[in-house]
Chains A and B, each alone.
Chain A
Amino acid sequence: MSILMKGINKIGNTSFFKYPLKALDHLGVVNKFDSKAWNSDKTQAVITGLGIASLVLKDGLGCYLYVNQSLHNKKIPEDKRKFVAALDLTNGGLMIALQLLAYATISHKLVQSKAFAKLFGKYISAPAKKCYKAIIDKKFIQKGMKPSTNKVFNESVAEYENSARKAFAHFSSLIAATIIGKRVLVPFIATPLADKAKQMMDKNSEK
């Protein structure tokens, strides 16, 4: 663990963080296994749902706060204030739209699974695994060990596949949604849209 992460961990161990979490726990926000237990699919669905709710709420409220504060910020030059606020508005709106789109496309389980199969399927197919087993078993025998049992081999290979899938999901979402979508597409579209939004703001203030 880096020094920075150690520091963050230390901060998290203070009462400032522990008290509110303890209070939230007492509210009983998650269920036990006494009624309907969380299975992985249910958990994922809840996390996805909360993630969508969070982004709509967070980015929605954030957009409102930023626009409002920018418009009333006397420290921003008057001739630029409305454009700054207009860009906050279009940026916020597009950000919500893009993230919802990403949830439905690139980050979707089905799309992820198909894209992974298309790009890497042949490297983790049953015939490929058969070869990996033959190769690694030879290595184990050379080391004076027994070949891997099928149970252990399959568990290890499933573990490998699972973490490769997770890595792919992480990087494909990072590149497509976070970098290209949020940082390239959104500002690219939001900037000209902000021109229009500023014009509307000007018209409204003239009235």
Chain B
Amino acid sequence: MAVLKVQNSEIIRNNPVLKSVTQTSERIVDAGLKADTTSFTGRAPNVQEVSEMISEYTPGFLNGMKKMKDNISEFQNIMINSLGTGLIAPIFIKWNPLSKTDEDTRTYTAWRQPVSAALAIGTQAAITLPFAHAIKNMAKEGMFSEKLNETPYKNADEFLKNLRDKNKIVYTTKNLKGITSTSNMDEQSLNNLINHTFDDLIATEEKAIKHYSEYIKQRASQGEYFSKNADSAKEYFSKIQTELKDISSSKDARLYFNKQIKDLKNSNADKELVSMVENLRDMAAYNPKTKPSVWDKIFRRKPNIENAEEINKTIIELINSEINKITKENGLIDKYRGKTAEEIQEIAKNSLKQEVDECTKARDYLKTLKENFAKNKLTVKDIEKNILDNMSSNSRFKNKEFAKEILATLKKYTGNNISVFKQISGMGVSLAMLPVTCALLNWVYPRFMDIFFPGLSSRNKAAKANAEKGGDK
């Protein structure tokens, strides 16, 4: 489970889109929740601790689905597939109302499915799965060539040390006899890897800029609505605030907002207003448990039911504070009240100006540094020093280490190479196994029917025919 979490966080780190969304939404969430970490003692939780906590405080069915996927093994997957072939498919062959073929023939044919499913389980467990495991182990032990070799980052600290001190990536290769040797990644490959790392970082910034511009557009549309409907909006949200005083649970808040949304849609209200109410409704997405759910019973979890009241209070407080941001003096409504289209655009743009500026500066700086790297043959150490000297005040570079980014890129590319290799070898294995499984089915199936269903098979018929012939005589 922990391994899976680490893998997932690597996926995010390695995926420029997810990474950009993460970094962008960081500021968006920031705008509403400025957590003052200075007034608290102790350490801040890490990704794993937060992930575990998120699983605890998000809707049960999402967690249930996630947990089922996380815990399902390759073999269980094969079993599900085979059970479908063996148990469901025969029903639609034997009892098919559209078929005109006699029932005996359909029954005889239907039995081919479970026999085929049983053989599939056997061959996949004996051949397909061991191949997949062999690839995994060989890549880990360095038994493949460099493009499929996972040894450089077996020890992340050593990888970073080699890269920073010697500007090298070291591979350990093991032959089939178990003899190991070491080699360095060639200069051209290392240069390309660094260039790709730059490209990924630049792409992350570009995605973040695009993301912010979409947020600015959203804020401007909201502003346009407030500029024209300031009084009615204030009245509407104040009414909501008053009515919310009687609501004390997240569930009731969600029901209340659902009704509001329905009423707004029925009265053809402006879609901006509907969307704002939908956002308030979504804040009540989590319904704290007062008793263990079905999922808890299935997965033997112990939910924190004693915290329900406190969580409900937090959610309602947060919804109220969101509405306050809209209705308070000099809040969102007042900010946009009576403004012209140009002024609205300006206000929306300014609200995320610092974020967009930082991303733009980071992108331009990375582009220049990439050129500088090619021209002056900078080492990884030089690049890291350059970033530290020039970009330490830019939040986009906070906690960002270039050597670690190279490690992530190498992991991603090697992982992708392995995935493609797996797919190709899997295809080869399946094709090679086809004549074998086919011949096996043709051998087993009629014999299985002879033994277990002699009434449907030829053996019985032949015996019957012989008996009839004998009788005639």
Contacts and interface: CB of A to CB of B under 8 A. Distances in A.
A21 B425 contact: yes
A63 B23 CA distance: 50
B279 to A, nearest CB: 4
B65 A171 contact: yes
Interface stretch (B155-163, B235-243, B354-362, B432-440): B432-440
B151 to A, nearest CB: 15
Given A65-B435, A147-B44, A151-B26, A34 B189 contact: yes
Interface in A131-189: 131-141, 143-160, 162-164, 166-168, 170-171, 174, 178-179, 182-184, 186-188
A108 interface: no
Contacts of B55: 160
A104 interface: no
Interface in B104-131: 104-106, 108-109, 112-113, 125-126, 129-131
A159 B143 contact: no
A172 to B, nearest CB: 10
B283 A127 contact: yes
Nearest to B190: A33
Given A37-B413, A50-B420, A130 B43 contact: no
A94 B148 CA distance: 37
A160 B57 CA distance: 12
B423 A51 contact: yes
Given A18-B176, A136-B50, 13 more contacts: A8-B130, A9-B133, A9-B137, A11-B133, A12-B137, A134-B315, A146-B44, A149-B35, A150-B35, A151-B26, A182-B85, A184-B92, A194-B99
Nearest to A31: B147
Q: Provide the main secondary structure of the chain A interface.
A: helix
A204 interface: no
12 contacts: A32-B147, A34-B192, A40-B15, A69-B438, A122-B282, A123-B282, A146-B40, A149-B44, A154-B23, A157-B50, A187-B93, A194-B99
Contacts of A120: 62
B369 interface: no
B125 A30 contact: no
B47 to A, nearest CB: 5
A174 B76 CA distance: 13
B397 interface: no
A130 B69 contact: no
Contact of B134 (A12, A30, A61, A164): A12
- In this complex, the interface size class of chain A, counting residues with CB under 8 Å from chain B, is 35 or more
A126 B25 contact: yes
Interface stretch (B4-12, B221-229, B262-270, B384-392): B4-12
Nearest to A159: B8
A73 interface: yes
B179 interface: no
B99 A134 contact: no
Contacts of B461: 77
A4 to B, nearest CB: 6
B133 A194 contact: no
B428 interface: yes
A121 B407 CA distance: 33
A57 interface: yes
Contacts of A140: 45, 49, 53
B413 A18 contact: no
A199 to B, nearest CB: 10
B176 A15 contact: yes
Contacts of B282: 122-123, 125, 127-128
List of 9 A-B pairs having minimum Cβ-Cβ separation, nearest first: A75-B446, A12-B133, A167-B69, A12-B130, A38-B416, A12-B134, A128-B285, A192-B98, A156-B50
Contacts of B105: 79-80, 83
B44 A155 contact: no
B427 A54 contact: yes
A161 B447 CA distance: 50
B29 interface: yes
B435 to A, nearest CB: 6
B22 interface: yes
Nearest to B65: A167
Nearest to A38: B416
A89 interface: no
Nearest to A35: B192
A114 interface: no
